[in-house]
Amino acid sequence: GRDRQRDRRLQSAETPPQQTDGEDRNTEDFQRLHGNPTICCLKSHNPFSCLPAVFHLSQRFTTVVPESCMLILLGLVLGGVVLIASKKQLYQLDPALFFLFLLPTIVGDAGYFMPARLFFDNLGAILTYAVVGTLWNAFCTGFCLYAAKLLGRVQADLMDFLLFGALISAVDPVAVLAVFEEVHVNEMLFIIVFGESLLNDAVTVVSAHLYHTFRGSEVSNTRRGGPSFLIVSVGGTLVGLVFAVILGFITRFTKKVRIIEPLFVFLLVYLAYLTAELFSLSAILMTFCGIGANKYVEANISQKSRTTVKYTMKTLASIAETIIFIFLGISAVDKSKWAWDTGLVSCTLVFILLFRAVGVVGQTWVLNRFRLVPLDKIDQVVMSYGGLRGAVAFALVVLLDAEQVKAKDYFVATTIVVVFFTVMFQGLTIKPLVKWLKVPRSTNRKPTINEEIHERAFDHILTAVEDIAGLQGYHHWRDKWEQFDKNYLSKLLLRKSVYRKSELWEAYQKINIRDAISVIDQVGGPGRVQMGSGKRRTRGTQAWNQSISSLESVSSPPAPAEPVHPRVSALSRLGGSRPASYTGPVGVAPAQAPPPAAFCFPERKKKKPVEEEEEEEEPGASQEMQPLMSALKPPGVPQAPPPPQAPPGRRRNPCVYLRSLVTSPPGGGAGPHSHRPTQL
């Protein structure tokens, strides 16, 4: 069944989509061109991708209507236009396009920026919901639809309904991301729903496969169900992990070829996806490639590469999401593909909502006996309401064999309605619901050094408690993993210079740099800095002292209310406090690229005084930084803690200067500093 699905995907990539019989012959060439998924992709990209930009101009509108809704509506409109204009549907959500190009982009992006600690802390809950929940939904929906068959005209047997139940019961990662990233619920809730949507792919694949083989009424195949599921899921994960190790290992040696570092990241993540697809494993589980590789890759590659990877991935994922939703809208209008049956549609809607709610409540009750942080009623409401279906279900239904499954057209129609309903209606109403229920929202907290220190201490404490009590609990194994990582894995995958650094020190530096940047923003940048010809040093120092004293008087610089694209902020906010994945200050003047060049990490300064990144400072980047930096004369020797008034250095080395301020012991500053030490 899965092989057939795969072949079909490849086939449909080559042949043009089926059309209703032959009207204009001169459109055949047109068809052949449009059948090609790449061209389809490109053609759709151009007019549509500017639309979200236009859409975001209207702030009020965007706060109420989620982007996904708008895109689907737009697709509907466009599909209608095309239908009217040419009397038949030219565009279609091509499953090959979807599974080969669009889905890996989104899934790869999600995996790479997934907050790993939070994910693994909640892994038990996520796995329960993904496996048990999806199976429960699938069975119940299938059986009940079969029982309710009498209500409608649909001719299908139990197997068909079970198959349909399996396809429609999986929560969809694309839809969940699209809707939840506008709602900003607290991280734990988000990670549980989103993790579930990622991990249930294996369940869906195996169930669908099972029912396909059941239809052949070979009873002996039933025994393959269990092991088959394990193979598919564990295999997918292993493929992801293997590629994660390869990726980490490669990035260890890319110091001389910094330019193509992002390329390795994209290539290997995509390769992981394709390999999993090749072996008919669950390809979505290759998110573990991103999760695993993130820590090592982010530590190994340069700051510019980090920025490139982050923004390119986000952009591609955004484009893919846009295309998916618009095509969903367009495909819906093609009446030749589906057949309406009111009974089936309404029953399906009712059943999926009902069984989702029941399933969530039941599983939560069981889970709460094992979890430390209980999931209360509000969480359960949000979780059951947030079980959105999306394009994956639609693509899988379209892939069904029409000869084998006679009722395919009815299923397609039902899937379209269900997907529309969940994405649009639930997407629209989830925000007011969250507000009304007073769901704890995600706190946009800046990481403080206290939190970093104490969290590490707490980890040690808990491990100690478990060791003393002889328990082998979560912390015990986590500690073992950390030891293994430190002694073997990091040595293998991290660059030597990176390996020796301490995470806490890195976190400390990043916090300082972030404060420095926000202070400079406040001070007003180039306007306030005196760039006089003579006495540059004292003027520069004065400006610096000004910024220092303003830092001391301001306890926490307010984050500017800058409309960052939700996709950029959602996942990166979650990963923001992790040292290795720091990719630049979010929310601080992202109108320019975050200043990668000026604040390269000081450890590199130890080895090479001139880093090529510094020379290639982007002109737009950190405009405020440059005049300030050029006004300061850096010390020549980065090693010893030099006083701020250092002999004029040979080169501009703002990093070194900053570093010296960072490492200078309290009281080492001269000039009109207060007795309080400089923290910059």
Q: Does 451 bind other proteins (CB under 8 A)?
A: yes
Residue with tokens 């600690």: 117
* 469 vs 531 by CB, closer to other proteins: 469
Position among 46, 220, 443, 533 found at the interface with other proteins (CB under 8 A): 443
Bridge partners for 185 per DSSP:
441
Spatial contact of 83 and 333, defined as CB atoms under 8 Å apart: yes
Scanning 22-30, 212-220, 289-297, 448-456 for contacts with other proteins by CB under 8 A, the matching segment is 448-456
CB of 377 to other proteins, least distance (A): 11
Query: Tokens representing 474?
Result: 């979560």
According to the binding rule CB under 8 A, does residue 512 interact with other proteins? yes
8 A C-beta contact, residue 641 and residue 660: yes
Q: Among 464, 492, 531, 670, indicate the residue that binds other proteins (CB under 8 A).
A: 464
Stretch of 67-75, 266-274, 537-545, 656-664 lying at the interface with other proteins (CB under 8 A): 656-664
- Under the criterion CB under 8 A, does residue 641 sit at the interface with other proteins? yes
Q: How far is the CB of 74 from other proteins (least distance, A)?
A: 39
Q: With binding defined as CB under 8 A, does residue 501 bind other proteins? A: yes
Contact 99, 395 (CB under 8 A): yes
- Measured over the CA atoms of residue 169, residue 157, residue 350 and residue 95, the dihedral's sign is positive
Q: Is 187 one of the binding residues for other proteins (CB under 8 A)?
A: no
**3-class state of residue 271 by DSSP:** helix
Whichever of 217 and 450 has its CB closer to other proteins, that residue is: 450
Helix 303-332 with 408-420: angle, nearest 10 deg: 120
Amino acid sitting at position 321: E
Binding of other proteins by 311 (CB under 8 A): no
Establish if 217 lies at the interface with other proteins (CB under 8 A). Answer: no
**CA distances (Å), origin 41, targets 48, 242, 495:** 11, 30, 38
Of the candidates 336, 505, 526, 531, which one interacts with other proteins according to CB under 8 A? 505
Q: Does position 461 bind other proteins by CB under 8 A?
A: yes
Task: Tell me whether residue 404 or residue 545 sits nearer to other proteins (CB atom).
Answer: 545
Exposure string (b/e) for 238-256, b if CB count within 10 Å is 16 or more? ebbbbbbbbbbebbbebee
Q: CB nearer to other proteins: give 374 or 647.
A: 374
Interface with other proteins, residue 343, by CB under 8 A:
no
**550 binds other proteins, rule: CB under 8 A:** no
Q: Which of 39, 42, 81, 469 binds other proteins (CB under 8 A)?
A: 469
Q: Is 558 in the site for other proteins (CB under 8 A)?
A: no
Structure tokens that stand for 389 in this block: 């279906």
Q: Is the dihedral of CA 100, 103, 104, 105 positive or negative?
A: positive
Between residues 370 and 436, which has the closer beta carbon with respect to other proteins? 370
AA identity, residue 17: P
Binding status of residue 643 toward other proteins by CB under 8 A: no
Neighbours of 388 (CB within 10 A): 27
Dist. CA 430–CA 531, nearest whole Å: 53
Q: How far is the CB of 519 from other proteins (least distance, A)?
A: 14
Q: Is 496 in the site for other proteins (CB under 8 A)?
A: no
To other proteins, the closest distance from the beta carbon of 669 in angstroms equals: 13
Round to whole Å and give the CA distance between 197 and 191: 10
- Which of 84, 640 has the CB closer to other proteins? 640
Nearer to other proteins, 406 or 676 (CB): 676
342 contacts other proteins (rule: CB under 8 A): no
What gap in Å lies between CA 656 and CA 302, rounded to an integer? 17
CB of 440 to other proteins, least distance (A): 8
Q: How far is the CB of 450 from other proteins (least distance, A)?
A: 4
Binding residue for other proteins, selected from 197, 318, 348, 463, defined by CB under 8 A? 463
| Overall residue count recorded for the chain in this entry | 680
- Choices 32-40, 108-116, 340-348, 659-667; region in contact with other proteins by CB under 8 A: 659-667
Site membership for other proteins, residue 124 (CB under 8 A): no
Q: Which two tokens stand for residue 144?
A: 């009940």
Q: C-beta of 472: minimal distance to other proteins in Å? A: 11
- Residues 471, 479 contacting (CB under 8 angstroms): no
Cβ contact 659:599 at 8 Å: no
Q: End-to-end distance of the chain based on CA atoms, in angstroms? A: 62
Least Cα distance to 475 among 487, 449, 490, 457 occurs for: 457
Q: Which of 511, 513, 543, 625 touches other proteins by CB under 8 A? A: 511
Is residue 456 within the footprint of other proteins (CB under 8 A)? yes
Size of residue set near other proteins by CB under 8 A: 51
* Nearest distance from C-beta of residue 368 to other proteins, angstroms: 9
Q: Which stretch binds other proteins (CB under 8 A): 4-12, 288-296, 437-445, 593-601?
A: 437-445
Distance of closest approach, residue 470 Cβ to other proteins, in angstroms = 4
Residue among 172, 321, 409, 466 that touches other proteins (CB under 8 A): 466
Q: Is 465 in the site for other proteins (CB under 8 A)?
A: yes
Whether 195 contacts 170, CB under 8 Å: no
Rule CB under 8 A: say whether 120 interacts with other proteins: no
Q: Does 554 bind other proteins (CB under 8 A)?
A: no
587 with 569: CB under 8 angstroms?
yes
Answer for which of 467, 521, 603, 618 binds other proteins (CB under 8 A) is: 467
Report the C-alpha gap between 169 and 142 in whole angstroms: 9
Three-state SS annotation for 47-64: HHHHHHHHHHHCHHHHHH
Residue located via tokens 């009424």: 217
Among the residue ranges 426-434, 468-476, 516-524, 540-548, the one whose residues contact other proteins (CB under 8 A):
468-476
Q: Which of 643, 666, 670, 672 binds other proteins (CB under 8 A)?
A: 666
Instruction: Identify residues 347-406 at the interface with other proteins (CB under 8 A).
Output: 370, 372-374, 376
Q: Which residue from 7, 455, 612, 615 is in contact with other proteins, where contact means CB under 8 A?
A: 455
Q: What is the CA radius of gyration of the chain?
A: 28
- Reading the block at residue 482, the tokens are 């950390």
Contacts 24+ apart (CB under 8 A), 253-261: 254/300, 254/301, 255/495, 258/301, 258/302, 258/304, 258/305, 258/612, 258/613, 261/301, 261/302, 261/305, 261/308, 261/309
Residues that bind other proteins (CB under 8 A): 370, 372-374, 376, 440, 443, 445, 448-451, 453-458, 460-471, 473, 475, 479, 483, 500-502, 504-505, 508, 511-512, 641, 662-666, 676-677, 679
